[in-house]
Amino acid sequence: MEVLREIYIPDSTAIVRGILRRKIKQRRIAGKIVIHTLLVEMFERMTREENRVIGTIGLTELERICSLINKSEKDNLSIEFTREIPSNYRLYRFERVEDVDKMLRELASEWNAVLITCDPTQKLACKAMGVEVLFEDIRKKRL
């Protein structure tokens, strides 16, 4: 099994569905994971203002991911938070998590990074833009 050393940008689905954490535990990714602070803020707003459990799940997953990475080998995997916004999104108002996910796709394109998602539409949009994507189809998972 090949392990790639890349820059990875997870979208909201990869975090909330536990895909990113699972990939880290399985040692399937190596390199730098970049979390956008807008995603953290979106999860926080969902929790505080909208009383939506998905926000709490997102924040809890991020905490678990940070803990996992801090326990792993430092030279193999790292995590970083960024505020960088693609130029065409500088004046954009991010009201929905889908807006943030769309911006993350654009950022992955600019940085030549791998976008991690489990949203089939996001996967198609990445492919259409030539953005490398690590996709996990959760619809195939059965209990």
The model's pLDDT over 14-29, given as tens digits with 9 standing for 90+, comes to 999 999 999 999 988 9
From residue 47, alpha-carbon distances to 11, 37, 67, 112, 140 in Å are 18, 15, 21, 32, 29
Q: Which CATH number goes with the domain that contains 126?
A: 3.40.50.1010
The model's pLDDT over 89-141, given as tens digits with 9 standing for 90+, comes to 888 889 899 999 999 999 999 999 999 999 999 999 999 999 999 999 887 65
**Residue (of 27, 35, 30, 31) closest to 9 by Cα position:** 35
DSSP for 5-25, written as a single string: EEEEEE-HHHHHTTHHHHHHH
How many structural domains is the chain composed of? 1
Q: In which domain, by residue range, is 32 found?
A: 4-140
The DSSP code for 82 is E
